[in-house]
Amino acid sequence: MDRVAIIGASMTQFGQRDAWIRELLAEAGVAALSDAGVSPDEIEHLYVSNMASGEFEGQTGVPNALAHDLAAMPAYTARIDQTSSSGGAGVYAAWQSVASGASNMTMLVGGEKMTHRTTAEATDVIASLTHPVEYKHGVTLPSFAGLTARLYLDTYDAPRESLGKVAVKNHKNGLDNPHAQFRKEVDLETVLDSPIVADPLRLYDFCPITDGSAALVFCPESVAREYTDDYAVISGIGGATDTHVVHERADPTTMGGVVNSSEIAYEMADLGPEDIDVAELHDMFTILEFLQSEDLGFFEKGEGWKAVEEGVTDRDGELPINTSGGLKSKGHPLGASGVAQVYEIYKQLIGDAGDRQVDADVGLACNVGGFGNCVTTTIMESR
Amino acid sequence: MDRVAIIGASMTQFGQRDAWIRELLAEAGVAALSDAGVSPDEIEHLYVSNMASGEFEGQTGVPNALAHDLAAMPAYTARIDQTSSSGGAGVYAAWQSVASGASNMTMLVGGEKMTHRTTAEATDVIASLTHPVEYKHGVTLPSFAGLTARLYLDTYDAPRESLGKVAVKNHKNGLDNPHAQFRKEVDLETVLDSPIVADPLRLYDFCPITDGSAALVFCPESVAREYTDDYAVISGIGGATDTHVVHERADPTTMGGVVNSSEIAYEMADLGPEDIDVAELHDMFTILEFLQSEDLGFFEKGEGWKAVEEGVTDRDGELPINTSGGLKSKGHPLGASGVAQVYEIYKQLIGDAGDRQVDADVGLACNVGGFGNCVTTTIMESR
């Protein structure tokens, strides 16, 4: 079977941007077309990963506007929303469009414009994804993170410091990412002394509110070869849900969506966790990096924290995680994040990751919606 | 190639419903599973077509909630939004999920909850899909319809009455649709004397604001045979955009998205307009039925109105259009409409359309987003 290749990618500066969603999407779209050497009229399908342009900005129909702005008309367009994993869902949609034969050239642009709203307003829009009863009780996603972190530390006898070290590592990686929102190192003391948000988690355990976008160009591998030698292929991809209501989970320290989506992806790729050379995980909260690294099979349950303590997931470690800086330092513009994860893996696999470059032939991106409510896992290989 | 089959379908009562979006989606989902004889744990992918649950109801993450309500977890879920053509975009996504091999059993549920908001509020949410400049000038979709209707009548020397006859025909068809919002005949005088909305169009030229949902179950044809002899196949499907800004169109009486999406669908099906036995068109406004019937190639440009005058598109005519009652009498819950169109064609093709039954082996559904900004066309055949 002709595999699905990625032949071009881009991401904008993440952070506080003086641009509306439409402008952010167009900025990444134009850059990805240029990177791929593809002209707009070659695009057959154009997908937009975005959670809430209507709620944030009062603007819907954004995919159609983007087709105009990129001069990609009459390309088919649609918006893919899976809350904070809209980007990963967009990657899956783009993969399906090519693998089904519906499109020979698909562009995905993910983006979100959030910082013009207050943090409380933005958190409220995000919290609209939770069950109405959770919402009424004030259990927003940061609250779940606090509760789960406490449970994890108690259950697996992990030190509070290990969570802080995730933030320290990812900030250090973000220093070398020119697109990251925060390009500054933080030390463990700063993390541990930062204002408390949801005990035991503090400010530096959380990703910021961010504007930004990222884009990818997909086509069959047979077509990719006509454009470039520098492409990567998606060899496995899968998605899965966990309970909509978090308290229904037998063990909240296990993310069922991560387990199930990665099983599908590993089987499709005919690979296992031991084959992964580099990974981008959804560190919206530091605790999530532990949970995902375990549920993806990288480490035994309850041992993810040890890997961080021992430097295994550092950029020069055995399995670098979040070389991009992760959501923690790069920022988390909801619809863009899953796309930017795949951007990072793509750059690592084609050897174009600059100062962040690691030695990798196989990479994995795991994008989490809600508190693990829906997850997509993508495995990519250098050609 | 293994074609994509539809093995089950449902739609809820359309109209003013005392139920939230989550309940509406679950109602159609449960009914479609039952209709298909498929158990929830067989569902691999679950798509939700919905434009604006966040804007209408403050609730996002609806696909994940639906996976819970249907006991379909860990099925992968995502929301597909293409404004008023979200349903058609969902059909395309579901088709791709099966055709790509990603899923062997996909459910699509489309729905919208709108009537708890005033007509002005609902129209405002819909108008958020237009260009900000169009929006500022008050050119909402009904305004475009009035302007285009005037142009059509003038250009093609069509009588005002011909538009009214679309409403009369579709209301007559809706009388036999137990799910329709309006089950009452209207005569031409009533239409022509109803309050003016956007000259020359009057109240009865417009579809209503509606709550409702519809669902479909898709699988490979090889799998379909294990479940039922009563299935239909999707033999052609395509999508395309037209300009985001309506005034940029060289001829506003031609819907480029309809032309381009149907060309893709006809080519995939290896069929032409002359092969279509029954069609569901997006008669959000009466004028749109003329435009689509021409741009799909059923009739020459400027002659669509004659077909209605001559009864060609009546239920007992040569090419019945909108046997369901169309959006006009059935109602238009945005995310549900494109799904309900395919529901009607499916029912016609398997011979289960009750009093609305016509003689048909090949059917077509055309779902329009915005004022033709994005369109999907689906061609289906009896097995």
State residue A132's pLDDT score. 83
Kindly report, residue by residue over A26-44, the tens digit of the pLDDT.
Answer: 999 999 999 999 999 999 9
Q: Which residues contact B169 (CB under 8 A, 6 or more apart)?
A: B308, B313, B314, B321, B322
Average pLDDT, chain B: 97
**Is B83 in Cβ contact with A58 (below 8 Å)?**
no
Closest chain B C-alpha to A289 CA, distance in angstroms: 21
**Is A92 in Cβ contact with B102 (below 8 Å)?**
yes
Closest chain A C-alpha to B244 CA, distance in angstroms: 5
Kindly report, residue by residue over B220-256, the tens digit of the pLDDT.
Answer: 999 999 999 999 999 999 999 999 999 899 999 999 9
Omega before B200 cis (within 30°)?
yes
How would you classify residue A156: left for phi > 0, otherwise alpha for psi between -120 and 50, otherwise beta? alpha
* Dist CA A355 CA B297 (whole Å): 57
- How confident is the model over B89-109, as a mean pLDDT? 98
Say yes or no: do domains B4-117+210-232 and B126-208+236-382 share a fold. yes
- Cβ(B92)–Cβ(B237) below 8 Å: yes
Cα A310–chain centre separation: 24
State residue B136's pLDDT score. 85
Q: Which of B68, B99, B240 sits opposite A244 (nearest CB)?
A: B68
State residue B263's pLDDT score. 98
Is A4-117+210-232 a CATH 3.40.47.10 domain?
yes
Taking CA atoms, what residue in A is nearest to B100?
A100
**Is A63 in Cβ contact with B132 (below 8 Å)?**
no
Checking if the pLDDT of B1 tops 80, the result is no
| End-to-end Cα, chain A, rounded Å | 14
Q: Which residues contact B200 (CB under 8 A, 6 or more apart)?
A: B146, B149, B150, B153, B160, B163
Closest chain B C-alpha to A192 CA, distance in angstroms: 33
- Go through chain A and tell me how many residues it has: 383
Both tokens of residue A32? 């990805």
Please, what CATH class does the domain formed by A123-208+240-382 belong to? Answer: alpha beta
Checking if the pLDDT of B66 tops 90, the result is yes
State residue B366's pLDDT score. 98
All residues of chain B having their beta carbon less than 8 Å from the beta carbon of residue A92 are: 76, 78, 102
All residues of chain A having their beta carbon less than 8 Å from the beta carbon of residue B239 are: 45, 76-78
State residue B76's pLDDT score. 98
All residues of chain A having their beta carbon less than 8 Å from the beta carbon of residue B75 are: 240-241
| Helix (H) or strand (E) run with residue B87 in it | helix B86-99
* Extents of the domains making up chain A: 4-117+210-232, 123-208+240-382
- Cβ(A77)–Cβ(A61) below 8 Å: no
- How confident is the model over B178-195, as a mean pLDDT? 97
Taking CA atoms, what residue in A is nearest to B102?
A96
Low-confidence ranges of chain A (pLDDT < 50): none
Q: Which residues contact B184 (CB under 8 A, 6 or more apart)?
A: B171, B175
How would you classify residue A278: left for phi > 0, otherwise alpha for psi between -120 and 50, otherwise beta? beta
**Is A369 in Cβ contact with B64 (below 8 Å)?**
yes
Burial class of residue A3 (count of CB atoms within 10 Å of its CB; 0-12, 13-18, 19+): middle
State residue B137's pLDDT score. 87
Which among B4, B114, B244 is the top mutation candidate for probing chain A, defined by the most A β-carbons within 10 Å of its own β-carbon?
B244
Both tokens of residue B205? 């030229």
Q: What are phi and psi of B33, to 5 degrees?
A: -60, -45
- Cβ(A9)–Cβ(A346) below 8 Å: yes
Which residue type occupies A65?
A
**Closest C-alpha among B311, B263, B315, B313 to residue B293:** B313
Q: What are phi and psi of A4, to 5 degrees?
A: -90, 125
Alpha helix stretches (DSSP H) within chain A: 21-36, 53-57, 62-69, 86-99, 119-127, 132-136, 141-156, 160-174, 188-193, 221-227, 256-269, 286-295, 304-309, 326-330, 334-349
Q: Which of A89, A93, A129 sits opposite B60 (nearest CB)?
A: A129
Q: Which residues contact B32 (CB under 8 A, 6 or more apart)?
A: B8, B9, B10, B107, B109, B215, B216, B217
Q: Which of A58, A81, A245 sits opposite B128 (nearest CB)?
A: A58
How would you classify residue A169: left for phi > 0, otherwise alpha for psi between -120 and 50, otherwise beta? alpha
* Dist CA A369 CA A275 (whole Å): 25
* Dist CA A279 CA A326 (whole Å): 10
Which among A76, A106, A259 is the top mutation candidate for probing chain B, defined by the most B β-carbons within 10 Å of its own β-carbon?
A76
Kindly report, residue by residue over B281-340, the tens digit of the pLDDT.
Answer: 999 999 999 999 999 999 999 999 999 999 999 999 999 999 999 999 999 999 999 999
| Helix (H) or strand (E) run with residue B148 in it | helix B141-156
Per-residue confidence band for B139, with pLDDT thresholds at 50, 70 and 90:
confident
Burial class of residue B45 (count of CB atoms within 10 Å of its CB; 0-12, 13-18, 19+): buried
**Is A99 in Cβ contact with B125 (below 8 Å)?**
no
The fraction of chain B above a pLDDT of 70, given in percent, is 100
Q: What is the dihedral of CA B339, B112, A377, A336, to 10 degrees?
A: 120
Burial class of residue A30 (count of CB atoms within 10 Å of its CB; 0-12, 13-18, 19+): middle
Omega before B74 cis (within 30°)?
yes
**Is B101 in Cβ contact with A63 (below 8 Å)?**
no
Q: Which of A68, A96, A243 sits opposite B244 (nearest CB)?
A: A68
- How confident is the model over B249-268, as a mean pLDDT? 97
Checking if the pLDDT of B135 tops 90, the result is no
Kindly report the CATH number that applies to the domain delimited by B126-208+236-382.
3.40.47.10
Q: Which residues contact A272 (CB under 8 A, 6 or more apart)?
A: A266, A297
Checking if the pLDDT of B56 tops 90, the result is yes
State residue B138's pLDDT score. 83
CA triple A107-B375-B153, angle to 5 deg: 140
State residue A136's pLDDT score. 85
Q: Which residues contact B96 (CB under 8 A, 6 or more apart)?
A: A93, A96, A97, A100, A102, B102
All residues of chain B having their beta carbon less than 8 Å from the beta carbon of residue A65 are: 131, 244
* Dist CA A140 CA B66 (whole Å): 20
Closest chain B C-alpha to A46 CA, distance in angstroms: 10
- Go through chain B and tell me how many residues it has: 383
All residues of chain A having their beta carbon less than 8 Å from the beta carbon of residue B96 are: 93, 96-97, 100, 102
Q: Which of B95, B102, B370 sits opposite A61 (nearest CB)?
A: B370
Closest chain A C-alpha to B132 CA, distance in angstroms: 8
Q: Which of A125, A130, A241 sits opposite B76 (nearest CB)?
A: A241
State residue B140's pLDDT score. 87
How would you classify residue A221: left for phi > 0, otherwise alpha for psi between -120 and 50, otherwise beta? alpha
* Dist CA A29 CA B22 (whole Å): 34
State residue A249's pLDDT score. 95
